[in-house]
Amino acid sequence: MLRWLLLIMLALAGCASRGSEADLQYIKQARSIGAEWALVNEQAAKGRLTHTYVASMHRSLRDQLRTSSMSLAQPESRYGEEIRALLQQPDEASPEELRTHVEILKAIEDSLESA
């Protein structure tokens, strides 16, 4: 009985790590999208981008971020929460706020890559 329990626990642990590894590409995408969003908002605040361009970028970035979020094998994970938190930001969110989410995703990404 104990042997079967151990085998089941090992199998579940393997599934969890494969899920995180499979999600690594989506974590990277979300981090990159968040960084680009911050840059767009930063440049828009300086008056360097047109309203039409900014609105178009916001739609595109948000669509890409939703796709990354929906593709996660483990959507209820810490990184899934962080991607959802990023999605909940308003289009005109401060670059600093967006970069905070980007930094958290980068830390998660680094920890998964080093595991």
Which candidate, 94, 111, 114, 110, places its Cα nearest to that of 34? 94
pLDDT mean over 45-61: 98
Residue 115, SS3 per DSSP: coil
How confident is the prediction for the chain on average, in pLDDT? Answer: 89
- In SS3 terms, 36-94 reads as HHHHHHHHHHCCCCCHHHHHHHHHHHHHHHHHHHHCCCCCCCHHHHHHHHHHCCCCCCC
Question: What are the sequence ranges of the domains in the chain?
Answer: 20-114
pLDDT higher than threshold 70 for residue 18: no
What are 39's two structure tokens? Answer: 């840059």
Contact assessment for residue 115 and residue 24, using Cβ atoms and an 8 Å cutoff: no
Give residue 115's pLDDT band: very low, low, confident or very high (50, 70, 90): confident
Phi-psi region of 63 (alpha: psi -120 to 50; beta: other; left: phi over 0): alpha
Element (H, E) at 1: none
Using only the alpha carbons of the chain, give its radius of gyration: 17
